[in-house]
Amino acid sequence: MAAHWRPDPAKGVFETLLVLDGSPVEWDAHIARLEASIATLYPGAAPPSLDAPDAPGAGVLRISVAPGANGELAVRTERRPAIGHFATENGGQRFNQAISLSSMALAGGLGAHKWADRAPLDEAQARMPGDTLPLILDEDGTVLEASRANVFAVRGDALFTPPLDGRILPGVTRSRVLEIAMEKRISVQERSVSAIDLLTAEGVFLTGSVRGLEPVHSLDGTVLGVRNDIVNHIATELWRRWQKDAAAPKSSERDEREAGGAGDQAGWSRDDSRAAALRGTSGRGHIRAVSPASSGPRSSREGL
């Protein structure tokens, strides 16, 4: 029977971003999602104001927002080293760690917010080997997402992935992979997925904002198929776009550009639309990057 559990909003929400060459990747999209959660979970609370990031080199930046004792939203930022098996040299990602999935039932899933309270996932992860992640299933057995990543499967020349129906996180990298697949004329179906679908697929991979694409080796002890051609093709393009995004100005710098000519403004229209879609509203929000603090404990949903 699926556990009926709901996160505690008092513990807040968070975002985790990859940092390349001192710049957070997909900054605007992550902030759009964070702002959408803040507006939904803490209506009436003044959104926190943040400054431009100071994050030299490569690593991981975590931004947490939670209600303080006075009811105001408090912000905490942490900087951590880059993930060990994510290679930032030789052109991008290197798949040198096999990921296994172990099913766990959670009625209704975790929903569309990146909760700081992830007690059932953390407890499940503590019982698993380091190379295994919980795979969240709804009470009817529907596949939702992994603890820190969205799930995709390959069949033929097409991808399929669970839909954004309120039970899963609208992953930033998931969105980018869908965009890449469309541009590369790779068919994608956003539909209900079962464990049988994954077991009979030609390949399964995860998408997250820190580790990129991760091929899945097994599910509940059963070895899965491997389709590295499509995974590698998408991963290469994703890495190229991450590098481009890291080199681009972020929101505060973009505001300065938009005070300029139409040519400056036109270059940002596509990324602005994408960030607004993740936020669920139009326009940019009020949060800007902050100077990160030292590292702290990791959450099981850290990489989406």
- AA identity, residue 124: A
Between CA 137 and CA 261 the distance in angstroms is: 50
Residue 166 structural domain:
99-242
β strands within 109-246, DSSP E: 132-137, 143-146, 150-155, 158-161, 187-190, 203-208, 212-219, 222-223
Asked if the structure places residue 114 within a domain, the reply is: yes
Per-residue pLDDT of 96-148, as tens digits, reads 567 999 999 999 999 999 999 999 999 999 999 989 999 999 999 999 999 99
Asked if the structure places residue 53 within a domain, the reply is: yes
Residue 297 has pLDDT above 70, yes or no: no
Nearest to 116 by CA among 23, 8, 251: 8
Between CA 211 and CA 147 the distance in angstroms is: 13
Residues 237 and 117 in one domain: yes
Q: Which residues pair with 137 in a beta bridge?
A: 105, 143
Residues 238 and 270 in one domain: no
Residues 233 and 273 in one domain: no
Count CB atoms within 10 A of the CB of residue 79. 20
Asked if the structure places residue 302 within a domain, the reply is: no
Between CA 252 and CA 254 the distance in angstroms is: 5
- Which carries the bigger pLDDT value, residue 107 or residue 283? 107
Say which CATH number the domain at 204 has.
3.20.10.10
Residues 112 and 223 in one domain: yes
Structural domains in the chain (count): 2
Residues 66 and 164 in one domain: no
Residues 42 and 117 in one domain: no
Per-residue pLDDT of 42-77, as tens digits, reads 998 888 876 556 677 889 999 999 999 888 999 999
DSSP class of residue 9 equals G
Residues 55 and 144 in one domain: no
Predicted structure pTM score: 0.82
Residues 117 and 63 in one domain: no
Residues 54 and 119 in one domain: no
Per-residue pLDDT of 167-177, as tens digits, reads 999 999 999 99
Residues 161 and 59 in one domain: no
**Helix or strand or coil: residue 77?**
strand
Mean pLDDT in the chain? 82
